[in-house]
Structure 1
Amino acid sequence: MKRKGSNLDVEESRLSGLLFNKSKRFVEKIKNEEDQHLPDLNLKPAWIDEDDEQLTSNNNTKNKTTTLYAEKLKHKYESLMGTPNWAKIKDKLEANLEDSDILRKVGHIQKKKGSLNLSNNFLQLRKLQNINSEFRKQGQIISCVEFHPKLSVALVAGLSGVVSLFSVGGDTNNQLHSFKFNNVSAVQFSPDGSEAYLASKANHYYCMYDLVNATPKMVQLPHCVKRPLIFKLSPNGKYIATSDSFDEVHIICSNSKELIKSLKHNYKVACVTFSHNSEQVYCYCIQGEITIWDLSTFRAVKKFYDNGCINASCISNSSCGKLLATGSQEGIVNVYETNNITTSEPFPMKTISNLTTKITDITFNNTTEILAISSYCFQNAVKLIHIPSYHVFSNFPQQADNYNHIQCVRFSPNSGYMAMGNNKGAAYLYRLKHYKNY
């Protein structure tokens, strides 16, 4: 019995030492393990209090060293109060890499732990029922297909004047609502998804449709804009860039509806796109000249010619802000790194020549892993390109399917779905299996 009690005392003493940091060996072991996981950031104390060195305690009889006593106080404080946010050590990547927030979004630069890379040869996708299969009143030419930024909803518009909202993701794509706006040429949702901006090349006004109250509001364009052949909403929803394809791009405040500035160019403007943070606007002129304007000062910060471009057609910026893609009427697509276009003569990091007719639409998916290019000048002229390998996915477009003339290609916010509109009144819908969410 005595031996048994002795063993219990020894075990109790050992557990007590583990739980209350009274074992120097245990403290040193924990510190060594933490040192292996923490990055070597060469951290130094923010300040040194000389009075701490003189601190003693009458209850410190069981602690053999001052270090153990300090560990005990620290352990007691953290157990009662927790670790303050300013004292938490960030992850090694966040501490050492620049633009870590951006890098986490860009699929081809840095992937999250546990996530698989997108295959560059075969794209796993499944064709679903057309978005507008139950209600095809949008006209023969589907000019716009746009996914809602928050809800599993897609907007389909065409030249007939009917704009429809459909639910996406179920067995059937039910029609939710329809309203009229003639000859829709551009559609974009506001960042919060409460409004839809619609423009028509035939009208001297654009429509702000309140999706909450289901009410349209027609807004007159400035007198200097004859027809909104170009109409683009900035990612933050503060600016509208519009042009009648002459040598000026007009910047409008989306809140006050007033003209802020007219940006003058040397040539006619073919297309515009905003930077990912809405701080700059890229204007692509018909002769291939690209002008980058700073929206805080409305001054041109950079001008350069698109390499090898003869006649410009469209331009697009990736959501991460790292890549800029341009398309020409000769079917050539150039991809630039935005960090490298500050040089005197920027050279594209990749030139894509898989299409031979005018590039009419360029779209990046949200993770910047897929680049979609298309041309409505020829049947089935659409390609999906993997980034950063820039290999064309071999299984799309599928040879057995006839897509006719593709007008636009769009991806859902999390790239779970892809939609295409054509000239036969169809809004195709595909499920991209690599991406789990809408």
Structure 2
Amino acid sequence: MGTPTWAELKETKNDEDDSEILRTVGHLQKVKSIGLPKDFLEYKKFPAINRETCNEGAIIRCLEFHPKLSVSLVAGTSGVVSLFTIGGDANTKLHSFKLKNWNVTAAHFTPDGTEAYIASDNNHNYCIYDLVKAEPKLMQLPKVVKKPNIFKLSSDGKYIATSIGLDEVYIICAKSKELLRSLKNNTNIASVAFSSNCDKLYCYGMQGEITVWDMSTFKALSKFHDQGCVTASRIETSACGRLLATGSGEGIVNVYEMSNLTSLYPMPLKTIPHLKTKITSIKFNGTSEILAISSGYYPNAIKILQLPSYHVFYNFPSNLNLYQVQNVSFSPNTGYMGISNNKGRAFLYRLKHYKNY
């Protein structure tokens, strides 16, 4: 497997202190922005990220933006993993590789962006892709994890939380690859989410019970019930550290304030009833001004909300046919939004309010 040209570019004078991958591709600065207006989302649609390839599979489960560079990762049911530059009208393939007999269901960049952790719910191995060397390496999960229904890398890159969908969640050290602890819950687990500073893990049980685990002691700190939940589906936390969102099989999303999760039955800050089928994706943007919720069980079942008003942007998706949305992702500074579907496409939108990638 050859090294792609983007990993061979010469070092520039201004990037001498950056890591190799940042020296070779370039560094993007963060910029401040004023509050996002509610009701109307100003955006521009660009060509699909994977228009050049379209071989990642019919169902694109993974669409992730690189944390440092204008690069995205697209992967799906064919086992092909592709990386693209994000340039709006011209999105160019940088590199791709195929994981044989894989249905890629999870992909996460490390915080420094030098690696991507990739997993499949039909394979005992997981893959670590080295972006500098352009090399994938297969690693074995613990023997008890036959097929990871859940695979989550913490945002600080220290932990992997994985589960086969039963009542135990296994914590793996990302660096040493050793199994650190098994966290046993009262019910089978539908979804997990790390807190923004990665000191806690939220395990969302199938009947709506949420167990909060301390990541330093691996002990349960508290438990609470998601109001009105019959069948749990997805859980997500915001980057600001103040919000937690749950999505149920009935299409309801509850948003809680972290500071109010002190009782067994806390009241949601907001209940969002706009979708009618199982929630399969919940995403906050990096500034916690946008909440995207979607269901892969019905065409165009996606809502984009402005926070803290929780107003739905009425002009999105408008008359766009997105088919069945599988995943929603935001670039680090929300300059771009990506949406993947069940037709092998990873759509790209420029969110004009945000001035940088």
CA distance in 1: counterparts of 2:329 and 2:188, whole angstroms: 27
**Paired residue for 1:324?**
244
Cα displacement string for residues 368-402 of structure 1 (whole angstroms, at most 9, x for unaligned residues): 00000000000000000110000000000122x21
**Paired residue for 1:139?**
57
Moved over 2 A (4+): none
SS in structure 2 of the partner of residue 339 of structure 1: helix
CA distance in 1: counterparts of 2:325 and 2:336, whole angstroms: 17
Q: TM-score, normalised by structure 2?
A: 0.90
- Identify which range, 162-171 or 124-133, moves more after superposition: 162-171
Shift of 1:254: 0.5
**Paired residue for 2:14?**
none
Query: Which of 106, 115, 127 is equivalent to 2:45?
Result: 127
CA distance in 2: counterparts of 1:407 and 1:315, whole angstroms: 15
**Paired residue for 1:360?**
280
Residue 327 (structure 2) pairs with residue 411 (structure 1): no
Aligned AA (1:180): K
Residue 340 (structure 2) pairs with residue 421 (structure 1): yes
**Paired residue for 1:402?**
321
**Paired residue for 2:156?**
236
CA contact (8 A) 2:225 2:264 kept: no
Shift of 1:134: 1.2
Query: Which of 333, 341, 361 is equivalent to 2:253?
Result: 333
CA distance in 1: counterparts of 2:172 and 2:159, whole angstroms: 6
Which consecutive residues of structure 1, in runs of 5 or more, have no partner in the other structure?
A: 1-104, 106-110
CA distance in 2: counterparts of 1:226 and 1:426, whole angstroms: 29
**Paired residue for 2:222?**
302
Query: Which of 312, 318, 325 is equivalent to 1:392?
Result: 312
CA contact (8 A) 2:47 2:88 kept: no
CA distance in 1: counterparts of 2:188 and 2:64, whole angstroms: 27
**Paired residue for 2:5?**
none
Q: How many pairs are equivalent?
A: 326
Kindly indicate which of the two structures has a greater share of residues assigned to strand.
Answer: 2
Aligned AA (2:140): Q
SS in structure 2 of the partner of residue 235 of structure 1: coil
**Paired residue for 2:113?**
193
From the superposition, tell whether residues 390 and 170 of structure 1 become closer, same or farther in structure 2 (CA, over 3 Å): closer
SS in structure 1 of the partner of residue 91 of structure 2: coil
CA RMSD in angstroms comes to 1.2
Shift of 1:170: 4.2
SS in structure 2 of the partner of residue 160 of structure 1: coil
**Paired residue for 1:437?**
356
**Paired residue for 2:170?**
250
Kindly indicate which of the two structures has a greater share of residues assigned to helix.
Answer: 1
CA distance in 2: counterparts of 1:271 and 1:405, whole angstroms: 20
What does 1:212-223 align with in structure 2 at a 5 Å threshold? Answer: 212-223=132-143
Identity %: 62
CA distance in 2: counterparts of 1:139 and 1:254, whole angstroms: 28
SS in structure 1 of the partner of residue 311 of structure 2: coil
What does 1:30-429 align with in structure 2 at a 5 Å threshold? Answer: 115-181=33-99, 182-399=102-319, 401-429=320-348
CA contact (8 A) 2:209 2:225 kept: yes
Aligned AA (1:377): Y
Cα displacement string for residues 9-43 of structure 1 (whole angstroms, at most 9, x for unaligned residues): xxxxxxxxxxxxxxxxxxxxxxxxxxxxxxxxxxx
CA contact (8 A) 2:46 2:88 kept: no
Shift of 1:263: 0.4
CA distance in 2: counterparts of 1:192 and 1:274, whole angstroms: 18
Q: Which has the higher contact order (CA 8 A, sep 6+)?
A: 2
CA distance in 1: counterparts of 2:37 and 2:89, whole angstroms: 27
Shift of 1:180: 1.1
Aligned AA (2:71): V
Shift of 1:117: 2.0
From the superposition, tell whether residues 409 and 170 of structure 1 become closer, same or farther in structure 2 (CA, over 3 Å): closer
Shift of 1:345: 2.4
- Identify which range, 190-199 or 344-353, moves more after superposition: 344-353
SS in structure 1 of the partner of residue 337 of structure 2: strand
Shift of 1:118: 1.0
CA contact (8 A) 2:154 2:160 kept: yes
Aligned AA (1:216): P
**Paired residue for 2:3?**
none
Aligned AA (2:354): Y
**Which has the larger Rg?**
1
- Identify which range, 135-144 or 188-197, moves more after superposition: 135-144
Cα displacement string for residues 199-241 of structure 1 (whole angstroms, at most 9, x for unaligned residues): 0011001000101001111110001112111000001100000
Aligned AA (1:426): R
